[in-house]
Amino acid sequence: MPQVLNHPYTENDFLWLRGNLHTHTTNSDGVCSPQDTVDAYAALGHDFLMLSDHDCFTDPSELDPKGMVLIPGNEITGYGPHILHVNAHRRIMPDPDRQAIIEAIETDGGFCIVNHPSWTEEFNHCDQSLLEAWQGYLGIEICNGVGLRVEGNHLATDRWDRLLSQGRRVWGFANDDSHQEYDRGRVWIMVQAEKRNPGYIVRAMRQGRFYASTGVTIDAIRIEDGHTIVIESANTQAYRVIAEHGRCVAEVEEPVLRYRVGSGMAQQYLRIECFGQGARMAWTQPFFIEEA
């Protein structure tokens, strides 16, 4: 049976924009004021930022964006696992029925990311059964920056692989979740967008046209000859190709990855992890293997 690789990236001459969607200020439990936080991210060179205070809508239209795109949002916190409300047009009140919240956010024109699933001493801020039951959220945080200094696992690629292996199509986000200066600029996403404005950035994220990073930069993502995944990255030292159930099917120590997907490969998806110097990494979105 002929197969095609379906993936979100484009070879068009789009911009790569760096941003963080998970940021706290003094409007909730952050240390710095909203404007000081915006100023700090602008100084880091971010292209876009979302202030996401706990159950509080910090209106970015009241701030000087300092050249960045400010995306309105908040973190729905009370009564259950934390959910990021991205592209918020109004504040949605916390409700223990998280499925109702997800639907309210979609109706409002925003989208949801389930945050830090493996936080806390139990490594289970959001149980896998909930991730599997809920419908309509766009993605999960596969890397949460503040998770590096609190209990639990800041990574959730295992949760992601479990969802993807069930045929769920959810994207992997990486966010600082910054509360103080130390947390800023540790974790981000690179969005491939036609223009540097909120509508194009939100649409690119909806379509999965981004990768997650803690310091590795991907220069090109493409398919050659219909069957070979090519990743170019000047600061990657090794790649892993991850398949269903988290299985690593290839490990390559080269600056350019060329992974040919054999005909009749019995996998639903492949995703690429890039390893750079020290603890630096990047994660692509999945390449879905579909019948032509």
Comparing C-alpha atoms, which of 72, 73, 83 is closest to residue 138?
Answer: 83
CB of 89 to Zn ion, least distance (A): 20
| Residue 177 binds to Zn ion (criterion: CB under 5 A) | yes
**Closer of 20 and 192 to Zn ion (Cβ):** 20
Q: How far apart are CA 129 and CA 241, in angstroms?
A: 26
**Closer of 115 and 213 to Zn ion (Cβ):** 115
H-helix or E-strand containing 200?
helix 198-206
Q: Binders of Zn ion: how many residues, by CB under 5 A?
A: 4
Say which amino acid occupies 38.
V
Region binding Zn ion by CB under 5 A among candidate stretches 5-13, 71-79, 190-198, 233-241: 71-79
| Residue 82 binds to Zn ion (criterion: CB under 5 A) | yes
Comparing C-alpha atoms, which of 237, 249, 232 is closest to residue 289?
Answer: 249
**Closer of 7 and 82 to Zn ion (Cβ):** 82
| Residue 85 binds to Zn ion (criterion: CB under 5 A) | no
| Residue 47 binds to Zn ion (criterion: CB under 5 A) | no
CB of 107 to Zn ion, least distance (A): 23
CB of 180 to Zn ion, least distance (A): 12
Q: How far apart are CA 235 and CA 280, in angstroms?
A: 9
Comparing C-alpha atoms, which of 175, 180, 108, 107 is closest to residue 147?
Answer: 175
| Residue 115 binds to Zn ion (criterion: CB under 5 A) | yes
CB of 8 to Zn ion, least distance (A): 25
Judged by the rule CB under 5 A, the positions of this chain that interact with Zn ion are 75, 82, 115, 177
